[in-house]
Chains A and B, each alone.
Chain A
Amino acid sequence: MSAADALLDAVCGITPVARDADGPVFREPWEAEAFAMAVALNEAGLFTWSEWAEALSQEIRRAQAAGDPDLGDSYYHHWLAALERLVAEKGVAAPEALAERCAAWDRAARATPHGRPILLENDPLAPA
């Protein structure tokens, strides 16, 4: 919890985080997963909180400049964009690799009957 709280403290000065008395409020599962990934990557030492805050604030400014009213509902969009950018800057995954993997997940989802777990192996183009 302390790592997550530190993260919230690091970003709270920049923009209001949707949160109640005890923590942030997620609207969809992917938001929680994106949140958890940032916490885990900080714990893994990939970036510091100040690096994170800087990346996130840049993404938010960029989105605002592009016309996002930024009412809090797009918060985790910026969050994920910041994560993707930091991961690329740190040499963990290039944007091209992420885009390729996105397409693979998309093919896997479409090949998976609804209600079954969507697995990357379900991608019809996956290497055998």
Chain B
Amino acid sequence: MHEHSHGHHHDDHDHDHEGSELSPMALRVRALESILVEKGYVDPAALDVLIETYETKIGPRNGARVVAKAWADEEYRAWLRTDATAAIHSLGFTGRQGEHMVAVENTAEEHNLVVCTLCSCYPWPVLGLPPVWYKSAPYRSRAVIDPRGVLADFGVTLPAATRIRVWDSTAETRYLVIPMRPAGTEGWDEEALARLVTRDSMIGTGLARTLEELRP
């Protein structure tokens, strides 16, 4: 376990400090990629752009459905708050890195921000692949030290009275932020609501889209 003197919530980390391990597939990918880079066939930055494109387009849709359902269905929201793992599985989203999920809900009083300070633990089944910045050392360290500054970098300014709570993901527990439901969406169905939910709003580095932002 590592130590923080900060006041933010912090579960015991399950990370093993003995050494790292890569799966056989990850090893093969790294082997191939490092040779291709050395020989000039691929540019790591270009690969990152490709991956970024896919990860931002793909996974978060699942999480958006979870959030939209929580907004529209009070009973589901209560279930999600008490047993996120089961509530999320009930929609068919299961798999690695999403085994134990905790849903944290934003309110006017409290804003939640998710990070993995040590590596890049991330709820893949609901959010897809972690964005490049999530895995970056600057985000991982600054989210804890200066969450308000990190939010400002993402263009998010919260009222001074809103507390920011930082959740450090572990190998065993992954967090999903339920952003605040935008005003003026009363009576919307889940499909329409899901369009308001961005990936960043479910990590806490963004807010749900407003009606103004939805209009072309």
**Is B58 within 8 A of A84, CB to CB?**
no
Interface residues of B in 22-77 (CB under 8 A from A): 22-23, 25-36, 39, 41-43, 46-47, 50-51, 53-55, 57-59, 61
Give the docked Cα–Cα distance between A115 and B61 (Å).
28
Point out the residues of chain B lying under 8 angstroms from A98, CB to CB.
28, 31-32, 35
**Is B20 within 8 A of A41, CB to CB?**
no
**Is B54 within 8 A of A28, CB to CB?**
no
Give the docked Cα–Cα distance between A33 and B28 (Å).
11
**Is B17 within 8 A of A114, CB to CB?**
yes
Tell me whether A23 and B20 are in contact in the complex, defined as CB-CB below 8 angstroms, given that A28-B124, A98-B35, A101-B31 are known contacts: no
Contact partner, B46, options A40, A92, A120, Cβ 8 Å: A40
Asked if B19 CB lies within 8 Å of chain A CBs, one says yes
Tell me whether A92 and B39 are in contact in the complex, defined as CB-CB below 8 angstroms, given that A33-B47, A112-B20 are known contacts: yes
Point out the residues of chain B lying under 8 angstroms from A41, CB to CB.
36, 41-42
Contact partner, B20, options A29, A33, A40, A116, Cβ 8 Å: A116
Point out the residues of chain B lying under 8 angstroms from A120, CB to CB.
34
Number of interface residues of A (CB under 8 A): 49
Give the docked Cα–Cα distance between A36 and B51 (Å).
6
Q: Which B residues are within 8 Å of any A CB, using their own CB?
A: 15-23, 25-36, 39, 41-43, 46-47, 50-51, 53-55, 57-59, 61, 95-96, 118-119, 124, 128-130
Q: Which A residues are within 8 Å of any B CB, using their own CB?
A: 1, 4, 20, 22-30, 32-37, 39-41, 44, 46, 76-77, 80, 83-84, 87, 92-93, 97-99, 101-102, 104-106, 109-116, 118, 120
